[in-house]
Structure 1
Amino acid sequence: MDFRITEDRAALVDSVRDYLAGVHGVERLRALDADGSARSDELRQGLTEMGLRGLLVPEAQGGLGLSLVDAALIAVELGRAAVAEPLVDGAFVAVPLLIAAGGQEALLGAIATGDAQVALQHPVNGWVADFDGATHLIADRDGRLLLDAASARGVALDSVDPLRRLNAPVAAKGDDIGASDALLDHAALFAAAQGVGLAEAMLAQATDYAKVRTQFGQPIGSFQAVKHHLASAAVAIEFARPLLLRAALALEQGLASAPVHVSHAKLAAADLAWSVGEAAIQVHGAMGYTYEVDLHFWMKRAWALAGAWGDRAFHLARIDAAVIGGSLPIGPAHSFA
């Protein structure tokens, strides 16, 4: 079994990373925060032109027809750049649900071209992200998915993340497009993917700072205590990435164990982003607690996503139920089943 990322996938990830590094640096983040828009028309258009809105849309509807693994890898890069544009919900989560529902070819094509934006609503969340700019809403109601034209508008809510735009849930009135089981799992998967990217970015910022901040005449990165913090963070990232890819592949293949793999990935990514953020603050010292330090954009996104699509207790309970209940055998003999 070959677990390596293929050259084509690596090239796609690199191209997205390079693009985001050029157009979505910390200067852009601070500008979006300062003007209150939290969104960039330039970035939205760029993501569309790169084909990322149609990444999972079938080729027949004008998309690229790629896989959930590809989308998960791109979501990592979106987290690394702290992109707040609702690409993940509207394209990576919504599209597989619409494909499974069938009969949504026109909407899929509109998503690929950027003419449609889908928001998501689930009882596990007390909010709907980016509902104010959505043309459609997919809502979970009593275990069924409803596709609404998003005619109603919820009350705006505040978020710990200044670049997240949230609304209160609304009463959806749409067409029944199937069972809702997949909504939570797809959304939690991509929240986990962004968490891994956020952790990678925070580790990079802490490492760069440790190289230039001096104490007692030498860079603080030379001190063993700082090295241990950063090394532990790097190891945690390497442990979380395989869990994310396993969950993406299990979900794509429709395995019965997919939900627990998603919960494992979400739990690992949330814990990872939280702990790396904490270590990065410690490396920055007292100034790490100030909003003038760029780290806060990534750290606050990590806090917001930690409670999105099921908090730590929710996903830990799913894992406990599967392992203790016996539906997910553990041990070396079952690792690669």
Structure 2
Amino acid sequence: MKFDLDDQQRDFAASIDAALGAADVPAAVRAWSDGNTDPGRKIWSTLADLGVTALMVPEDYDGIGAHPTDLVVACERLGYWGVPGPITESVAVAPILLTADERSGELVSGELIATVAAPPLQPRAVNADFAGLILATADGRASAAAAADSHASVDPSRRLFDVTATGDPWDADVDRAVEFGVLATAAQLVGAGQALLDKSVEYAKQRTQFGRVIGSYQAIKHKLADVHIAVELARPLVYGAALSLGSGSSDTARDVSAAKVAAAEAGLLAARSGLQTHGAIGFTQEHDLSLLLLRVQALRSAWGDPTTHRRRVLEAFT
């Protein structure tokens, strides 16, 4: 079976790129890290206008009720541009936990941003200080929660919070919500890896050393080619996992975990190669590359680290 995006999905991705390309996303990320979410919320409002925040919300609550592949299309582009905020939690996970709850409709406008703690894969909630709705899962049920102690993340725009459940829990498809969380994170990693590769290639075409652009050196070519291969191999695994999740396949956990591992490794390779290509300047706070480097490191462990997901893949064969 050959899988490819249809024209509508390609147009959707292009519209996201056009909107985010016109916005100063790096400035919004830096402001978010400093506690000012206003620029970031304007970006979220733009995404809401494009239908991103409504993708997984049921049609009964003015959502789109889209297929997981559409979610992957969006999350890959959001990862590419490095949009701040709890993308995975608010766009992918919360709508599943709130399937029969009218609050899911409030996510559509983008004004309500949700975050989720779902142990053991996601024991803490990201950006709980900014989120208007905090959810927690336990024993196959979901409940509202409140933020407790905060913890620094390698990505300063993603502070992590312990949460305490409040109110009465309700029955929810927690397992499915978690798989959506893993899938959306994997898609963002693929997008971030592609962005790092594109930035590195562009820099390699401009930077000169010993009278030659560094991109003409074989060592640089091979390094970036390896990144290209890793990203291109991870991407179909992510879309394959989306198809598996959408069809309710019994192999969903295996497929989603395999996608997360591949995306995490591709993102890490892209980050390392990007830093090596740019040199030390790439890790300075003033350089936009540093924002993607930190985002990749944070997303690698979000919703389960590679070791956890390798274990899930192995368990599927035992």
TM-score tier (shorter): over 0.9
| CA RMSD between the two structures | 1.8
Name 2:180's counterpart in structure 1: 186
- 1:253/1:316 CA distance change after superposition, 3 Å: same
Match of 1:55 in 2: 55
- CA positional deviation for 1:38: 5.0
Matched ranges for 1:198-277 at <5 A: 198-277=192-271
Q: Does 1:110 align with 2:106?
A: yes
Alpha-carbon offset, residue 54 of structure 1: 0.9
1:147 aligns with 2:146: no
Q: CA deviation at 1:180?
A: 2.4
- After superposing on structure 2, the runs of 4+ consecutive aligned residues of structure 1 that deviate more than 4 Å are none
Deviation for aligned residue 1:123: 1.7
> Is the CA contact (8 Å cut-off) linking 2:97 and 2:142 kept in structure 1?
no
Q: Find the aligned partners of 1:28 and 1:135 in 2 and give their Cα distance.
A: 19
> Is 1:37 matched with 2:31?
no
1:31 Cα shift?
4.4
Partner residue, 1:127: 124
Spell out, residue by residue over 1:179-219, the C-alpha distance to the aligned partner (whole angstroms, 9 max, x if none).
52223211111110100011011011111110110011110
2:19 is matched with which residue?
Answer: 19
Conservation of the 8 A alpha-carbon contact between 1:130 and 1:165: yes
- Other structure's SS at 1:255 match: coil
TM-aligned CA deviation for residue 19 of structure 1: 0.6
Is the Cα–Cα contact under 8 Å of residues 186 and 263 in structure 2 kept in the other structure? Answer: yes
User: Quick one: structure 1 residues 121 and 26, their matched pair in 2 at CA, closer, same or farther if it must change by over 3 Å?
Assistant: closer
Q: Does 1:290 align with 2:287?
A: no
Q: C-alpha distance in 1, partners of 2:89/2:312?
A: 23
1:81 counterpart letter in structure 2: W
CA distances 1:273-308 after superposition (whole Å, capped 9, x unpaired): 111100111111233343333211001111111111
Residues in 1 aligned to 2:49 and 2:11: alpha-carbon distance in whole angstroms: 17
Q: Does 1:166 align with 2:163?
A: no
**1:9 partner SS:** helix
State the TM-score, normalized to the length of structure 1: 0.88
Give how far 1:21 is off. 1.0
TM-score normalized by the length of structure 2: 0.93
Cα distance in 2, alignment partners of residues 211 and 293 from structure 1:
18
Number of equivalences: 316
Cα distance, 1:318 vs structure 2: 0.8
Deviates more, 1:53-62 or 1:11-20: 53-62
Letter in 1 for 2:12: L
User: What SS does structure 2 have at the residue aligned with 1:170?
Assistant: strand
Q: Which amino acid letter does the alignment assign opposite residue 7 of structure 2?
A: E
Structure 2 CA distance for partners of 1:12 and 1:316, relative to 1, 3 Å: same
Letter of the structure 1 residue corresponding to residue 75 of structure 2: A
- 1:84 corresponding residue in structure 2: 84
Question: Could you report, residue by residue, the CA deviation over 1:220-276 in whole angstroms, capped at 9, with x for unpaired residues?
Answer: 000000000011101111100000001111111111100010000000111111111
- Structure 2 counterpart of 1:279, from 251, 273, 278: 273
Instruction: Please say if 1:302 is aligned against 2:271.
Output: no
SS in 2 for 1:154: strand
Q: Deviations over 1:140-178 (max 9, x none)?
A: 213x12231x4x322222111011132123234432223
- Partner AA of 1:114 in structure 2: G
Q: Provide the C-alpha distance between the structure 1 equivalents of 2:80 and 2:164, rounded to a whole number of angstroms.
A: 31
Which of these two proteins has the greater Rg computed from alpha carbons?
1
Work out the CA distance in 1 between the residues paired with 2:126 and 2:28. Answer: 21
CA distance in 2, matches of 1:121, 1:172: 13
Asked if the contact 1:24/1:83 (under 8 Å) is kept, the reply is: no
Q: Structure 1 residues 29, 122: CA separation in 2 closer, same or farther (over 3 Å shift)?
A: closer
Identity over the aligned pairs, expressed in percent?
33
- Retained in 2: the 8 A contact 1:189–1:265? yes
Q: Measure how far apart 1:317 and its partner are.
A: 0.6
